[in-house]
Amino acid sequence: MSERTSSKYQLLPHCSTQAKDLIIVATCDGASSTGQIGNEVARRLTKAFPNQVRMCCLSAVGAGSKTHIDIFKNAKAVIAINGCQLMCASNVLKQKGIGITYKITVAKEGINKLPSLDFDEEEVKRIAGKIVNDFLSKFIGNQSQ
């Protein structure tokens, strides 16, 4: 990768070789407001805590990719972010025998699930802040989002 490219993009740790040092985040990325909040929260935590927190491909886990299943199984900790009460992220992980260290369901946090890909910035900040306060701060100390 060229220097120009690497300065344009924030490069993430290699999740396969560094899983044991990473808190791996799974988000359902549902096609709803709450699913998209979950995805945005996962993105922001990944970018805010480089080399500590890392989104990984949940679809690959669901599709049975051994590489991706092993990333989650070898992780330092696993966070599941669900858009709604169907809890698809948690259920995919469970079906593959992956332990979940911390889980959250956006629609159970006082946020209505809407048939929209749009979401409220304050709700993203609130959910990200809750994950940091309730869980991540034990690993990485309190840092604002």
Residue where the block lists tokens 């396969």: 16
Q: Distance between CA atoms of 42 and 24, rounded to whole angstroms?
A: 10
Closest CA to 85 of 62, 114, 106, 61: 106
- Nearer Cβ to ligand SF4 (19/98): 98
| Tokens, residue 140 | 């990485």
Q: Within 11-40, which residues bind ligand SF4 (CB under 6 A)?
A: 28, 30, 32, 34-35
Q: Distance between CA atoms of 33 and 69, rounded to whole angstroms?
A: 27
- Nearer Cβ to ligand SF4 (84/136): 84
Interacting span for ligand SF4 (CB under 6 A) from 3-11, 15-23, 77-85, 120-128: 77-85
Residue where the block lists tokens 């048939």: 115
CB of 32 to ligand SF4, least distance (A): 5
Q: Within 82-121, which residues bind ligand SF4 (CB under 6 A)?
A: 82-84, 86-88
CB of 43 to ligand SF4, least distance (A): 15
